[in-house]
Amino acid sequence: MAAEELQEIARAIVADGKGILAADESSGTIKKRFDSIDVESTEETRRAYRELLFTTEGVEDYISGVILYDETIRQKASDGTPFSRLLQSKGIIPGIKVDTGAKPLAHAEGETVTEGLDGLRERLAEYHELGARFAKWRAVISIGEEIPSEYCIWVNAHALARYAALAQEAGLVPIVEPEVLMDGEHTIDRSFEVTSRTLHAVFTELRDQRVQPEGILLKPNMVLPGYESSSQVPDDEIANETVRCFLRHVPAAVPGVVFLSGGQSEEEATRRLNAMNAIGPHPWKLSFSYGRALQATALKAWQGKEENVEAAQQGYYHRAKMNGAATTGTYVPELERETVTA
């Protein structure tokens, strides 16, 4: 695929007022989510839940892309339409998670490296055939007393760049996700320092491996104090520190930054994205690629019951609309009390 087409897809994903639904939970993660509502995780319940999200009326006004899991991209809606084609018919771009998860990093206690490069070129070609037009690979960086090591940061950055180069070769926009985990007691300053080191390594490797920055999207963490930290800070400080960090390390050629929500609540993720856009304009679009922060209300409303589908869809639509507003800096908490209509 020509570089111009990759750029076009990347720009479409971060169009004004739109962002990504991350529906690529692994089998283990979706089981935990279903356990929380006392629903058994089977291929059929997972399919029914994803169909509920993908068929929500009008959500394409706020959702530009959906990241799918290997099982999901092969599944069909109840009328027999493949999920990738269903999404495309609504003007939503299908994407695919391609890494195989974080595994312990040799000679580095407490640190991980993401695997999945073996056979990746062939898998990317198949996913393109199945309708995917972007991909995602997540690296995990933990903050602790002696970690992360430079070894861990650079090994993960190297793998992210190898994946990104292969994805572009296959005609898929790579979403590059170096997630600095916010578990722990660290301050926002420590988070800034580790996020800086990580982004520096990632963009060095991307450049060295000939990845075109115009044809990627970055999916990072926000710069936050650790969730167990005694030094919590207001949203505007999180927004300022995150933007300051990215201005130092993220090339202006990158079309967009689509934040992960991590362990933030639905409204926290929305408020903080909005705070960043309120202090714009920025060299890149700042948008969202949220999983739990788009789905928590919907999942709770659904409870695995057919009669709750409409209520669940309304919850998902509302969160998508709130985050759509946050991408343009026009979200205000009063919008949360709007009558929800899907």
Write out the catalytic residue numbers.
Answer: 177, 219
176 contacts: CB under 8 Å, gap ≥ 6:
137, 160, 163, 164, 202, 206, 216, 217, 218, 219
Q: Find the angle CA(248)-CA(251)-CA(255) to the nearest 5 degrees.
A: 130
Residue 55 contacts residue 85 (beta carbons within 8 Å): no
* Nearest residue to 96 (alpha-carbon basis) of 39, 41, 141, 163: 163
CA-derived radius of gyration, the chain: 19
Strands 112-114 and 256-259: unpaired
| DSSP E strand boundaries for the chain | 19-22, 63-68, 93-97, 102-104, 112-114, 134-141, 173-180, 217-218, 256-259, 285-290
Residue 166 contacts residue 128 (beta carbons within 8 Å): no
